[in-house]
Amino acid sequence: MKLLSGRFLFVQIVLMTLMGGVCGIVFPEFAQDCRVLSDLFLKLISMIAAPLIFCVLVQGIVGAESLGTVGRLGVKALTYFEAMTSIALGFGLLVAFVFQPGAGFTLPAQQAGTPHPATHGAGSVGEFFLHLVPLNPVDAFSRNDIIQVVVFAIIFGCAMLVVGKPAEPVARLIDALGSLFFQIMGFIIRLAPVGVFGAVSYTIAHYGLYSVMPLLAFLALYFLSVLFFVFVILGITLKVFGKISIFSLLRYLREEMLIVLATTSSDAVLPSVMSKLIRMGLGSRTVGIVIPAGYSFNLDALSLYLGLSILFLTQVAHVTLSWGQLLPVIITALLTAKGAHGVPGMAIVILSATLSMVPQIPGVGLILLVSVDWFVGIARAFGNIAGNCVAACVVARWENDIDDLTVQAILSHRSTSPDTSADLKHVLKIAQHGSPEGE
């Protein structure tokens, strides 16, 4: 069964990606039916995401020595999240302003008055904060609303800390459930090559190699912007505050990054990323809080996408926005982007909600981006997960919750660490009792 082990997953994914491309070109009709493979894989991930994140976050909080520790760490993490997502959105606006990706496009005249699609999720700041609190925990889990699950998990974990010893049986139960959910995710991640084959073959068969030529400028600019943001902006941030090279970190996590690139989803690599970061020398408590929270609050690549898309669509519609008009749009984008992770097509919904503040932009412009959203999702998922890994390293440094000797020893090797699947079931136990690296 060696072919099913984690160390061969990288090779399996590469081979299935190539096979999916060939299938999409040579057997397009069959490839269209292969979409069910990727849909099934992503649905399996969605099935386990909410309970898994709940257990991870609760155990991360319970693993802290005091409620004050959680509060301090949480404030630092949220401060970093808000600062970096704001920088990302501003960078997207700057790139669009400098390179003018939409300047060469013109919407059909008869479409100029087309209204925006009905928006869902747009609302005031008050409505955003009200949405953070679930109607009840079951409702949050049943709708797979990750941001509400995160809020409930934080309240639940803090309550367990206050209750103390009487809550220990509950802590053991959550530890056992967490181990079980990690094992289930370990099973699901073995299907990643199959999901990759379905996604790649369907995309090439459905869209064709040259079917999105009009948007290549936007796509290329977004991909290059994400790469620049990750390797330069995040790279400098990681080097200055975390004392770690972005190239070494991404090379260490290359198997997880490949899965994210191929599936446009970062859910599948959550257990493996957390396990590897803890083994790398980051404190388990920091990883157990920052990474799950970052999945909802630290969407750097999504913020960059919103900034770039806003000006792209204004350029397509030949609309000029003053700073007074642009500032409310930026604030709305930052607020509505929170908790967007894991919701299919949510980026388009957020963009539609944000642009509802600019009625001069016809709704047909949004369709231009809908047609290539899957391709955009590749870079978006990569940028988001890279941003969360960097966040964990930076916050761990701020908390002095990092073992420099272990980090240097792990990242100095060019190969990834041994098979991580055996560690997935133990991550929550590490978070509960603390790790040598984090003490």
The CATH number of the domain holding residue 22 is 1.10.3860.10
Number of domain units in the chain: 1
DSSP state for residue 209 in the 8-state scheme = T
Helix spans in 108-167 (H): 125-132, 137-142, 146-163
* Of 274, 60, 52, residue with least CA distance to 146: 52
Residue type, 390: V
Contact 11, 102 (CB under 8 A): no
pTM for the whole thing?
Answer: 0.64
Q: What is the mean pLDDT of the chain?
A: 77
Question: Residue 248 — very low, low, confident or very high, per pLDDT cuts 50/70/90?
Answer: very high
pLDDT tens for each residue of 23-62: 988 898 898 888 888 778 878 877 887 888 788 778 777 7
* Residue found by looking up tokens 């960078």 in the block: 91
Q: What is the mean pLDDT of residues 195-217?
A: 72
d(CA 244, CA 248): 8
Distance separating alpha carbons of residues 400 and 32, to the nearest angstrom: 51
Match 């991930």 to its residue by tokens: 45
User: Tokens for 336?
Assistant: 């509505």
In the numeric block, the tokens 């599936």 are attached to 263
Neighbours of 289 (CB within 10 A): 29
Task: Place 422 in a pLDDT band, splitting at 50, 70 and 90.
Answer: very low
């941030």: which residue's tokens? 237
Residues 273-277, mean pLDDT to the nearest whole number: 90
Check if the beta carbon of residue 42 is closer than 8 Å to that of residue 144: no
396 pLDDT exceeds 90?
yes
Predicted local distance difference test score (pLDDT) of residue 133: 87
pLDDT of residue 85: 92
CA distance linking residue 204 with residue 182, whole number of Å: 33
Please tell me the predicted confidence (pLDDT) of residue 428: 47
Which structural domain, as residue segments, surrounds residue 388?
2-438
- CB distance 13 to 258 below 8 Å: yes
Name every residue whose Cβ is closer than 8 Å to that of residue 112 and which is 6 or more positions away in sequence: 317, 362
Going by pLDDT thresholds of 50, 70 and 90, the confidence category of residue 426 is very low
Quickly state the pLDDT bin for 352 (edges 50, 70, 90): low
pLDDT at residue 288 in the model: 85
CA-based nearest residue to 284, from 68, 101, 64: 64
- Is 50 exceeded by the pLDDT of residue 121? no
